[in-house]
Amino acid sequence: MFGAAAAVVFSLIAQIGEQVDFLRFIPEPETPRERRRWWIAVMAGGPGWILVGLLKILGGSFLAVLALNQGVPAGEAADPTRMYMVAFNYITHSPEVSSPWPACS
């Protein structure tokens, strides 16, 4: 279980590192107003990207717990297909309505 959790966190760290690498292409600001916008962009694209990773982890955790509460076996609760099917069934209360939704996204 620790290894699975660590794999998720480590993959997000690699995504954050990739995102930060793109910051080197942001041109230097020329005016004070642009400097403020530049700092906002750098902070949002660099350290702020951790918040996006946090939302991914929390969202996945919520869907896994929802799947477990709906009776999905623990071995299948981490499967994204099962998680989304449970979530869509929970929202629509109809397998016929919810089945096409994952295929459309």
Tally of CB atoms within 10 A around 87: 19
Q: Torsions phi, psi of 29, nearest 5?
A: -75, 150
Domain extent, residue 92, equals 2-104
Residues in the chain: 105
Residue 103 has pLDDT above 60, yes or no: no
- Condensed to tens digits (0 to 9), the pLDDT of residues 55-79 reads 888 998 899 899 999 999 988 888 8
Give 27's DSSP letter: P
Domain count, the chain: 1
Cβ burial of 86 (10 Å; 0-12, 13-18, 19+) is buried
What's the whole-model pTM score?
A: 0.62
CA angle 71, 77, 82 (to 5 degrees): 90
